[in-house]
């Protein structure tokens, strides 16, 4: 039970639970990735909104710059730019000197068309990297737009300086709620800013050889956003990045895996506990049901062992209607059948047909010592001269011939419902019990049996033609009817169902008065069966112990009425 039921079931349940955990964990991780990207997108969106607010007015200024009569409009726009939140300075330069260093070519944003600088009419020529403004004492970012005067055609440049901390405002609170490590890098991975939680001065993403930073640097060149898990389960560090839409910058956030994936880790813990409890409960139920079944099977096995030793007193309680209950019922029926067979064998020997034995067992006197006096039909037969024939045969040949002979005779006797009392060398004593009915039908069966035995003997001689016999075997049979005592003869330890009485001796003496191949019937048989018998003229014989002569008839045939 442990090897073939409980252990495979436990392994199957564990495999199913583990597969279910992996499926649920993947769902949770996918959901976390989507949520993480949405939070990064929201943080980046706020930065884009602050940049876009400035870019909107720069775009309006460029439109007004194309209008020859728009001087007042341009002044108004410049005043609004100066008053925008986060703007440090607005500088308008006429005939600017060419800049020594040209800005890098705008990089294509991964996964989308267009450049990273995507402001309205694309009038911005450059967004500078954050730089320290000595006058203001803080880092600034400059949004630069170049234009030409509508009347004179002279070039001009508009530079708007915005506080960098204003752009980064609330990024931490808008990002991952567990994260305190936030940084902003350009398209090449150079640090523009990072939170204090990251510690130290950093210049380039991945400069320390950290595998998470290197993986993020590689992925941000290929994707517009994404997440990355470091080594370990849970990972030591989790990172996420998102490209800004208004500047060629990438917002990156880091957080410890234990904090960021805390719900998934808790889910794993509680899933393991719940799964273990479920498996334990299922195994206990299996053990309870299977153990009960095993105990019942062990009870069956023990009962079978007792029956094998000859004890038929065992009886199993039938406590259910399932297969085991049906097996217990079948076992009890089997034991009852064996008890009946043993009783038949012990009481009637092996020479009574089972149907006849069951019919006898229905009578109360059949199962106890003693008997009942009633009239029965008696048949006795033997092989004439077989003792002399056996002298010339080996013991094995003698027993072989007798077994073959008796095998045929027993079949015929059982067919006519005769009860074999005993074998006497080559002879057999049989009686036909009418029970509580008239004796005539039993006498008819005895006569029919005697004729069938002679016919069977003829076929037996044909089969034994090659046997070492000097001549064919011939049987002589006597049939009589008389009063005898019928019942169990013997003791409580050993008894035999048979008959005792003068009629038995009478039948034996009748059988000695005829020759082989003949059947003799008594006057009582003739009276019982009348004209149904075909017999030769009667003859008389005198027997020791009987004063009067006995009338006998040689039987030729039996013709029962239609």
pLDDT band at 450 (very low <50, low <70, confident <90, very high): very high
Q: How far apart are CA 192 and CA 74, in angstroms?
A: 32
Contact partners, residue 340, CB within 8 Å, separation at least 6: 358, 361
Judge whether residue 101 has pLDDT over 70: no
Phi-psi region of 111 (alpha: psi -120 to 50; beta: other; left: phi over 0): left
Q: How far apart are CA 251 and CA 192, in angstroms?
A: 10
Domain boundaries, the chain: 2-97+105-167, 180-256, 264-343, 364-558
Helix 71-83, helix 7-65: angle, nearest 10: 140
Judge whether residue 109 has pLDDT over 70: no
Judge whether residue 447 has pLDDT over 90: yes
Q: How far apart are CA 331 and CA 303, in angstroms?
A: 9
pLDDT score at 416: 92
Lowest-confidence pick of 19-23, 132-136, 207-211: 132-136
Cis amide leading into 328 (omega within 30)? no
Q: 278 or 485: which carries more pLDDT confidence?
A: 485
Q: Which of 386, 348, 410, 397 is nearest to 476 (CA)?
A: 386
pLDDT score at 115: 38
Specify the pTM: 0.44
Most confident of 295-299, 321-325, 546-550: 546-550
The rounded mean pLDDT for the chain is 78
CATH architecture under which domain 2-97+105-167 falls: 2-Layer Sandwich (3.30)
Residue 480's alpha-carbon distances to 39, 78, 381, 447, 505, in angstroms, are: 117, 150, 12, 9, 10
Neighbouring C-beta atoms of residue 309, cutoff 10 Å:
7
Judge whether residue 497 has pLDDT over 80: no
Residue 536's alpha-carbon distances to 521, 533, 539, 552, in angstroms, are: 11, 10, 9, 10
Residue 209 DSSP class: -
Q: How far apart are CA 65 and CA 354, in angstroms?
A: 127
pLDDT band at 121 (very low <50, low <70, confident <90, very high): very low
- Spatial contact of 500 and 485, defined as CB atoms under 8 Å apart: yes
Residue 538 DSSP class: P
Judge whether residue 295 has pLDDT over 50: yes
Taking residues 132-150, report their average pLDDT.
70
Q: How far apart are CA 61 and CA 123, in angstroms?
A: 10
CATH architecture under which domain 364-558 falls: 2-Layer Sandwich (3.30)
Looking only at the bridges linking them, the beta strands covering 124-127 and 495-500 are unpaired
CATH architecture under which domain 180-256 falls: 2-Layer Sandwich (3.30)
Structure tokens at 255: 């957080």
Q: How far apart are CA 141 and CA 133, in angstroms?
A: 9
User: What's the length of the chain?
Assistant: 562
Q: How far apart are CA 107 and CA 117, in angstroms?
A: 9
pLDDT score at 112: 44
Same fold, 2-97+105-167 and 180-256: yes
Residue 438's alpha-carbon distances to 433, 435, 442, in angstroms, are: 10, 8, 8
Lowest-confidence pick of 283-287, 505-509, 540-544, 549-553: 283-287
Looking only at the bridges linking them, the beta strands covering 87-94 and 550-558 are unpaired
């Amino acid at each position: 039970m442990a090897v073939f039921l409980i252990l495979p079931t436990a392994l199957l349940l564990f495999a199913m639970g583990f597969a279910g955990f992996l499926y649920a964990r993947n769902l949770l991780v996918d959901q976390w990735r989507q949520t993480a990207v949405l939070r990064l997108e929201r943080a980046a969106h706020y930065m884009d909104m602050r940049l876009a607010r400035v870019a909107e007015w720069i775009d309006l200024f460029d439109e007004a710059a194309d209008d020859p009569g728009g001087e007042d409009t341009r002044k108004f726009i410049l005043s609004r730019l100066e008053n925008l939140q986060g703007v440090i300075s607005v500088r308008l330069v006429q005939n600017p000197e060419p800049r020594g260093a040209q800005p890098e070519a705008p990089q294509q944003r991964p996964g989308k068309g267009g450049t990273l600088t995507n402001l309205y009419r694309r009038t911005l020529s450059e967004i500078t990297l954050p730089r320290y403004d000595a006058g203001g004492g803080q880092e600034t970012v400059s949004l630069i737009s170049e234009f030409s005067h509508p009347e004179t055609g002279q070039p001009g440049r508009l530079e708007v300086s915005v506080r960098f901390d204003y752009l980064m405002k609330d990024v931490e609170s808008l990002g991952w709620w567990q994260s305190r490590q936030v940084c902003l890098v350009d398209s090449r991975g150079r640090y523009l800013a990072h939170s204090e939680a990251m510690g130290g001065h950093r210049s380039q993403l991945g400069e320390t050889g950290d595998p998470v930073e290197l993986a993020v640097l590689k992925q941000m060149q290929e994707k517009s956003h994404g997440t990355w898990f470091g080594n370990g389960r849970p990972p030591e560090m989790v990172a996420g990045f998102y490209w800004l839409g208004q500047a060629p910058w990438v917002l990156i956030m880091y957080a410890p895996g234990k904090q960021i994936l805390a719900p998934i880790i808790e889910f794993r813990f509680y899933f393991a506990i719940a799964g273990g409890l479920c498996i334990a409960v299922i195994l206990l139920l299996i053990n309870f049901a299977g153990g009960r079944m095993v105990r019942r099977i062990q009870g069956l096995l023990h009962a079978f062992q007792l029956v094998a030793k000859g004890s038929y007193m065992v009886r199993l309680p039938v406590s259910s209607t399932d297969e085991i209950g049906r097996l217990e019922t079948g076992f009890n029926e089997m034991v009852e059948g064996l008890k009946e067979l043993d009783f038949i064998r012990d009481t009637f020997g092996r020479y009574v047909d089972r149907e006849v034995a069951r019919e006898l067992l229905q009578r109360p006197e059949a199962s106890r010592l003693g008997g009942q006096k009633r009239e029965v039909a008696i048949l006795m037969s033997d092989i004439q001269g077989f003792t002399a024939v056996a002298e010339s045969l080996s013991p094995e040949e003698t027993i072989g011939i007798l077994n073959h002979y008796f095998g045929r005779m027993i079949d015929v006797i059982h067919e006519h419902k005769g009860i074999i009392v005993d074998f006497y060398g080559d002879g057999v004593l049989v009686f036909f019990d009418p029970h509580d009915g008239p004796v005539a039908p039993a006498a008819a069966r005895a006569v029919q049996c005697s004729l069938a035995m002679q016919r069977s003997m003829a076929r037996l001689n044909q089969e034994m033609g090659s046997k070492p016999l000097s001549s064919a075997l011939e049987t002589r049979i006597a049939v009589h009817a008389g009063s005898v005592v019928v019942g169990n003869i013997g003791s409580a330890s050993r008894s035999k169902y048979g008959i005792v009485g003068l009629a038995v001796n009478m039948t034996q003496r009748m059988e000695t008065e005829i020759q082989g191949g003949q059947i003799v019937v008594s006057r009582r048989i003739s009276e019982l069966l009348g004209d149904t018998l075909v017999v030769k003229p009667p003859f008389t014989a005198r027997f020791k112990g009987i004063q009067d002569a006995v009338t006998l008839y040689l039987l030729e045939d039996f013709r029962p009425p239609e």
